[in-house]
Structure 1
Amino acid sequence: MFHPGDLGKITPDEQADALRTLIAVFATSVARPGVVPRNAVSAEILDIVDEVPADAAEAVAQLFSVMALRLRRRAAPRGTVFRQTVETALLARAHTGEPPPDGEASYLASDLPDLVAIDAACAGQMARLAMKPADGRRAALTAEAVAAGLADAERRGLLGGADRSAGDLAVVEFLLRAAAQYLAATGGRKE
């Protein structure tokens, strides 16, 4: 089981392996003056990634994620967060045993509530929230959001059982997909 305290604990050897791969990626994909760019997704790079030992995969993946986030910070924040959210939701979905969706558009469109349903849910939330102490309102909203994910996972029979992580990831996928659906639905409005 992954422990949050292990975040950032990457050995020098793991760092060296990851950096060799990053150097190979940049050497083949970044266009430089006077140098004809080559194919970034070469068999050699994939081989290097495939050879990362299983016990080092999480640390190497973490380093890659940090590098990708550093690059993505140059993009529009909304688009960066949307992309990360969709990717993480689909990753969580895959780990619950769900088949891959037909595509991102169909994934975000499925089970999408209409504005009438959202307005009704907001009215109910606001009424319940008015009865809570001011300093506990955000926690109450978080509890309701998590409860919605738990209810969805329970309805699909994904809670409990031998693999508890699958149920937890189903809840996470529910919450992440809802966030991605919101960003997609509101993406076209004027700032």
Structure 2
Amino acid sequence: MKKDDAIMDGPKRMQNELKQMMEQKQLSQLQLLEPEKDNIYKWYALLMPNTPPYDKGAFKLEIDFPKEYPFRPPILHINTKIYHPNINERGQVCLPILEPEHWKPTSRIEHVLQVLIATINDPQPDNPYNVEIAGQFVNDPKKFYRMAEAWVDRYGEHRPTEQELARIARRKKKAAMR
């Protein structure tokens, strides 16, 4: 196998993974998943966590795949400000599964997103991106939850209802048929 052959496998695999995730809809806390127009290497979604304090808002997620995917991990960004020990001020997410020494080419993006959702719902202060917020989470949880809830109120995206999500899906389907 030539070096370029491995890189060419990426887009087909990504298309298959995206198609499976969109058909199965097993990640109920991840909505409006779609690739950027004419760019399979960039996906967007809306995270809708189900535990307080994050369950009152939604968060824009951007997934950037390197050209060498699946041999290099994707990069996740939360593009909505969030007060969370595992996410820094630029929206970068600290997930061990995405670190080069832990990444395996057999890892599926669906699994990565499951880990992300679990981490958002249950912060991991032992592996923080923001040490100060992690310390607050451990030492003063009431203050942490007040701050996180205030950030969700101030910066969080509108959390669409089931009816709004269905309407958006119908519009996208109609647009795709044109």
TM-score category (smaller protein): under 0.3
For normalisation by structure 1, the TM-score amounts to 0.26
Q: Which has the higher helix share?
A: 1
**Rg larger in structure:** 1
Q: Which has the higher strand share?
A: 2
